[in-house]
Structure 1
Amino acid sequence: MPEWTHIAVRSLAAVAILFLLTRILGKKQIAQLTFFEYVAGITLGEIAGFISTDIEAHFMLGITAILVWFSVPFLFEFITLKSKRIRELVEGKGTIFIKEGKVLEDNLKKERYSTDELLGQLRKKNVFNMADVEFAVLEATGELSVLLKAENQPLTPKKLGIKVGPEQETQTVIMDGSIMDEPLATRGLSREWLLTELEKIGVTLENVFIGQVDSYGQLQIDVYDDMLQLPQASQKETLLATLKKCEADLALYSLSTDKFLAKRMYGRCSEQMAGVIESVMPLLKR
């Protein structure tokens, strides 16, 4: 067998073995490497490269070495699931950098983290003012987790005491000009509905690069022809939808609050908004 053929066969075998072992180790091996997994991954790659090109070395000896380096982290994964102490020893544990808004300089020095590096990691979390941070910890994976102070956290319906319904996942129903039947079926829609929606906006299926159905059942598309202007909802329809949403929101606020005065105020405002909608409906429907 020619040398180049020999090397090609050994390389393909090494790639196949590495791929199989990586799949067995799981996605964690790719997404969140610990120090131990990092060393094991580098060594496995080195051994695979060595047995691929060194045709004088015995192939099975290299395979044995790969299996040993695979077995050790694979075994440790099971052990660390059972023992917190061993898990901390192998994977490490988080280090608190900011606690109650105060930077812990000793912990920064312990992890050899400079102030610039800390500020850079905070900026990656969209935090540009250190005074806004209540708690920050450097995870064992090297990622910085940040908790903002209560007054700086985003406002959510839950904090306002408002209950909202669950949203459905956005489904991609067209990709590269082809209809994706499974996402359509997931949303309980049909090809006929999709083609009708495309016909409404005057776009052919072949010209659609990607199409998605959002949580409200609206079809959003992007076409290959970037110069093509897609029709937008008219101002009258948008205004009518906004007014109806305001009415629904006021009614929801009335139902969500336990305070009598607030409930009566929201209810009265909802009724007034319904009257406004009724009065302008003839104008908006023209």
Structure 2
Amino acid sequence: MTIIFEIIIQTLLAFFAILFYTRILGKQQIGELSFHDYVNGITFGSIAATMTTDFNQRTWQYLLGLTLFAALTFLMQMIVVRSRRARKVIQGEPIVLIHNGKILENNMKKSRFNLQDLTAQLRQKDIFNLKEVEYAILESNGDLSVMPKPEHKSVTVQDMGLRVSPESIPTEIITDGKLLLPNLKQHGLSKTWIKKQLKAYEIANIEDVFMAAYDPVKEELYIDLYEDNLGKNKVDVSEEYNTKDQK
């Protein structure tokens, strides 16, 4: 029982220590990682995993290691922010891989980026023809930024000279069958109002609603029920579904 108790305590310490340090270091830890953030994340996980099961070392020694790595990561972030030269060395620089529809092979070799990776990332941006690309730039975080040629750019509302209504972020007012009164009152709505709206959709109980969101600009209510009742209109793109369909 003593060993089990120690495992529980050390696991809790490791979990909350990583959670605390990651929160301090910012959202970069869970977004597009730089090289030093990537190394730090792996090390955090390794130290924490060892900390939960290794009883040969004292817990405070592992916590000290986690603290030092968090401090080093924070120091790197400060250096990168303040020094352009250090930023170039630590994070690298963007590299142009395509210019005017032509692949720059030397830059591809420098960045160790192969043709398959390039075409795959272009397809993810809805570009299937290299001739449509004006610039493709490999960012320091590994993402590919693409500028299509003018004749292949999507037409925007501004290009067409149209006026559009302002957009807003819908507010959730029902989640998991529970009414969120603070969000409801935020827009001057009441419980009576939402019940009336649900009645118009022939919904008797709030508990039947998985999610409902209110758009204050359009004054529209989006409702999704637990039971969607799609019937024959259900679409499934999984391999198992397609295989059954062919039999």
Shorter-normalised TM-score: what interval?
Answer: 0.7 to 0.9
Normalising by structure 2, we get a TM-score of 0.84
Separation of aligned partners in 2, 1:146 and 1:193: 47
Aligned amino acid, residue 48 of structure 1:
A
Select 1:217's aligned residue among 198, 216, 219.
219
Superposed CA RMSD in Å reads 2.1
Aligned amino acid, residue 107 of structure 2:
N
> What's 1:243 paired with?
none
> What's 1:131 paired with?
131
Q: Quick one: structure 1 residues 83 and 175, their matched pair in 2 at CA, closer, same or farther if it must change by over 3 Å?
A: same
Cα distance, 1:34 vs structure 2:
1.1
> What's 1:76 paired with?
76
Q: Quick one: structure 1 residues 175 and 111, their matched pair in 2 at CA, closer, same or farther if it must change by over 3 Å?
A: same
Separation of aligned partners in 2, 1:160 and 1:184: 37
Aligned amino acid, residue 224 of structure 2:
D
Separation of aligned partners in 2, 1:182 and 1:99: 52
Separation of aligned partners in 2, 1:20 and 1:43: 16
- Give deviations 1:151-174, integer Å, cap 9, x for gaps: 222211211222323112122222
Q: 2:100 touches 2:131 (CA, 8 Å); kept in 1? A: no
> What's 1:89 paired with?
89
Cα distance, 1:220 vs structure 2:
2.3
Separation of aligned partners in 1, 2:157 and 2:41: 45
Separation of aligned partners in 2, 1:140 and 1:93: 5
> What's 2:21 paired with?
21
Separation of aligned partners in 1, 2:177 and 2:9: 39
Separation of aligned partners in 1, 2:139 and 2:72: 23
Q: 1:99 touches 1:135 (CA, 8 Å); kept in 2? A: yes
> What's 2:237 paired with?
none
Cα distance, 1:180 vs structure 2:
2.2
- Give deviations 1:222-249, integer Å, cap 9, x for gaps: 22233389xxxxxxxxxxxxxxxxxxxx
Q: 2:209 touches 2:225 (CA, 8 Å); kept in 1? A: yes
Report the 3-state secondary structure (helix = DSSP H, G, I; strand = E; otherwise coil) of the residue aligned with 2:19: helix
Aligned amino acid, residue 211 of structure 1:
A
Report the 3-state secondary structure (helix = DSSP H, G, I; strand = E; otherwise coil) of the residue aligned with 1:159: helix
> What's 1:107 paired with?
107
Separation of aligned partners in 2, 1:16 and 1:201: 45
> What's 1:208 paired with?
209
Report the 3-state secondary structure (helix = DSSP H, G, I; strand = E; otherwise coil) of the residue aligned with 2:160: coil
Q: Quick one: structure 1 residues 54 and 176, their matched pair in 2 at CA, closer, same or farther if it must change by over 3 Å?
A: closer
Report the 3-state secondary structure (helix = DSSP H, G, I; strand = E; otherwise coil) of the residue aligned with 2:227: coil
- Give deviations 1:112-164, integer Å, cap 9, x for gaps: 22212111011111212222211111111111111112222221121122232
Separation of aligned partners in 2, 1:187 and 1:131: 50
Q: Quick one: structure 1 residues 59 and 173, their matched pair in 2 at CA, closer, same or farther if it must change by over 3 Å?
A: closer
Q: 1:171 touches 1:187 (CA, 8 Å); kept in 2? A: no
> What's 1:253 paired with?
none
- Give deviations 1:167-215, integer Å, cap 9, x for gaps: 1212222222222233334444333322222122211223222222344
Equivalent residue runs for 1:30-41 within 5 Å: 30-41=30-41
Aligned amino acid, residue 19 of structure 2:
F
Aligned amino acid, residue 92 of structure 1:
G
Q: Quick one: structure 1 residues 219 and 51, their matched pair in 2 at CA, closer, same or farther if it must change by over 3 Å?
A: closer
Q: Quick one: structure 1 residues 21 and 134, their matched pair in 2 at CA, closer, same or farther if it must change by over 3 Å?
A: same
Equivalent residue runs for 1:138-149 within 5 Å: 138-149=138-149
Q: Quick one: structure 1 residues 137 and 222, their matched pair in 2 at CA, closer, same or farther if it must change by over 3 Å?
A: same
Aligned amino acid, residue 96 of structure 1:
V
Q: Quick one: structure 1 residues 5 and 108, their matched pair in 2 at CA, closer, same or farther if it must change by over 3 Å?
A: same
Aligned amino acid, residue 210 of structure 1:
M
After TM superposition, the structure 1 stretch with the greater mean CA deviation from structure 2, 188-197 or 103-112, is 188-197
Normalising by structure 1, we get a TM-score of 0.73
Cα distance, 1:36 vs structure 2:
1.2
State which structure, 1 or 2, has the greater radius of gyration over its C-alpha atoms: 1
Separation of aligned partners in 1, 2:104 and 2:168: 42
The yes-or-no answer on 1:159 pairing with 2:159 is yes
Give unpaired runs (5+ residues) of structure 2: 232-247
User: How many residues are treated as equivalent by the alignment?
Assistant: 229
After TM superposition, the structure 1 stretch with the greater mean CA deviation from structure 2, 174-183 or 86-95, is 174-183
Separation of aligned partners in 2, 1:226 and 1:164: 32
Aligned amino acid, residue 228 of structure 2:
D
